[in-house]
Chain A
Amino acid sequence: MEELFKAALLFWLPLMLVPTGAVFALSRKEGSRPIVGWAVALISSLMVMSSWLTVPESDSSAGGHLILAIIGPTILMALGCFLAIFSGRIPVQRLPVYAGPVGFISVLLGLAWLLMMHLDNPPIWRHEINPYWLVWWPTFLLSVLLLSSFVIGAMLMVGDNRRNEAGVMAFFSLLFFVGLILLLKIDGDLTDAAQMRAQLWLATADAVGTILGILFAIVTVALVVAQYERRLPAPGLVSAMNEEEKEMVQDILNNNLGGDQE
């Protein structure tokens, strides 16, 4: 019972407080609410990530351990993307030219870090490979591959003459595809290729199930909202403006049009 209480207090409660703090912070810009909200979210995140130390007896703490293991490469890739985007041709606040190559190198380093974790040094939890790493890594690879091919389609469909950019993106997607095929054939130190293939198959089941579940939920709520909106009465007719209202509108227009005012 005490173990359950400890797990609830040191893992599940902080896990719920992360999104709650973020929503609380984003709900208002003035006052101390954003500071309090982000502080709650940050402290809760740290508690979730340190749960493998604070509640090692809980199986769920493997999730916190995994988040801690991937936070480094994730930050590196996010920083890299930021530098690469904002050193390009953007109209405002362009970063120095050297930020671009630094950004791309940063993204590559993040990916190389993850690759080394797969081949040589996976996250170890209770003297074994963290079970959630075997879920996260194939899901990540599969998602990158599928989303990049989706973006290629989106560039061709939505973009105006974006064939060159779609070509570069196709090269990026192809690199991932070849890398993924190699991972399905080469054994790592602790993860063999056969296990990786099985995990990729299971990750596909996970990802498809998750996406379908989210879609079912959204469609269900959308149907309820659509039913309510259909039943709303048509808005009533508004009476014509009186002289006072017309003068007010005229004043607002005069104050905001022209250009001869200070």
Chain B
Amino acid sequence: MTPLTSRRRWPLLVIPMISCLALLMLVVFLFGVGGVEESFKRFANALLTSFSVVSALLAIAMFSYADSRERPLAPVFTMLAISVVGALLSFGTLSVGGDLLLESNGSAMAQILYNVVQLLVVTSALFIAGGLVLGTAFAIITRSVERTIFEEE
């Protein structure tokens, strides 16, 4: 068997997933997608919101890193790096998509609050789906035929 660390086996992880997504998108296109004019705005809002929220959480975690490694400036540098990347991402998405406000939200504040709740909804869907898939996988594994680890001589 090819060893785990072999580079040849890594595509096994992503090929089934990408094939499934491609097939699904093909089916959606064949059936007709419909009105999806807001898809880039949804993508950009999701990208910027998840980046901001996760960055804030990681910046808080950097305070404990700074304490344990005696690097008091670590949180400051982290926030600086996050601000630079965030500004680049915002500039990139705004220059491609223009105004990022969705039709249903009249102001930037309303859009931000909507994005935070949407992030909660999307992450809850991802976590519940992950739990279901992992639970099913482990249930299948623990119910499979018992295998002997050592053969008696």
Residues on A facing B (Cβ under 8 Å): 15, 59-60, 62-63, 66-67, 70, 74, 77-78, 80-82, 84-86, 88-90, 100, 103-104, 107, 131-132, 135-137, 139-140, 142-158, 160-162, 164-165, 168-169, 172-173, 177, 180-181, 184-185, 193-195, 197-198, 200-214, 216-218, 220-221, 223-225, 227-228, 232
Q: Which of B14, B19, B25, B125 contacts A143 (CB 8 A)?
A: B125
**In the bound complex, do residue B130 and residue A210 qualify as a contact, i.e. CB atoms below 8 Å apart?**
no
8 nearest interchain CB pairs? A81-B135, A88-B142, A209-B46, A213-B50, A143-B129, A84-B139, A213-B51, A149-B16
Using A59-B114, A184-B31, A207-B122 as known contacts, say yes or no to A103 and B36 having CB atoms under 8 A apart. no
| Contact residues in B for A148 (Cβ distance below 8 Å) | 133, 136-137
Among B14, B31, B35, contact of A193 (Cβ-Cβ < 8 Å) = B31
- Of B34, B44, B147, the most chain A CB neighbours within 10 A belong to B34
A205/B46 in contact, CB under 8 A: yes
Sample 24 A-B pairs with CB under 8 A, ordered by A number.
A66-B121, A67-B124, A77-B132, A81-B139, A143-B125, A145-B20, A146-B17, A147-B129, A153-B12, A157-B12, A168-B140, A184-B31, A198-B35, A201-B25, A201-B28, A201-B39, A204-B21, A206-B46, A207-B126, A208-B46, A209-B50, A213-B51, A216-B85, A217-B82
**Shortest Cβ gap from B11 to chain A (Å):** 8
* Interchain CB contact under 8 A, B81 and A144: no
CB-CB nearest in chain A for B85: A220
B99-147 interface with A by 8 A CB criterion = 104, 110, 113-114, 117-126, 128-147
Q: How far is the CA of A59 from the CA of B35 in the complex (A)?
A: 23
In the complex, whether B150 has a CB less than 8 A from a CB of chain A is: no
Task: Report chain A residues within 8 Å CB of B121.
Answer: 63, 66, 132, 135-136, 139
Please indicate the chain B residues that have their CB under 8 angstroms from the CB of A195 in the complex: 34
Provide the residues of chain B in CB contact with A82, threshold 8 Å: 135
Which secondary structure dominates chain A's binding surface?
helix
* Residue in B closest to A164 when the chains form the complex, CB atoms: B144
Known A-B contacts A77-B132, A139-B122, A210-B50; the reply to A165 vs B34 at CB < 8 A is no
Question: With A88-B142, A100-B143, A151-B137 in contact, do A136 and B25 touch (Cβ < 8 Å)?
Answer: no
CA distance A90 to B19 in the complex (A): 34
CB distance from A183 to the nearest CB of B (A): 11
Size category, B interface:
35 or more
Q: Is the CB of A184 within 8 A of B146?
A: no
Shortest distance between the CB of B66 and any CB in chain A (Å): 9
The interface residues of chain A lying within 8 Å CB-to-CB of B123 are 210
Please give, as numbers and ranges, the residues of chain A lying within 8 Å of B137 by CB-CB distance.
148, 151, 155, 165, 169
- Is the Cβ of A204 less than 8 Å from the Cβ of B25? yes
Q: Give A182 to B65 CA distance when docked, in angstroms.
A: 50
- Within residues 60 to 110 of chain B, which ones have a CB less than 8 A from any CB in chain A? 62, 65, 69, 71, 74, 77-78, 81-82, 85, 89, 104, 110
Q: A residues within 8 A CB of B131?
A: 77-78, 81
Known: A81-B132, A81-B139, A144-B129. 8 other contacts (CB 8 A): A107-B136, A139-B121, A148-B137, A153-B17, A184-B27, A198-B36, A205-B42, A227-B77
Most buried by A among B9, B12, B40: B12
- Are B82 and A221 interface neighbours, CB within 8 A? yes
- Check A149–B20 contact: CB distance below 8 A: yes
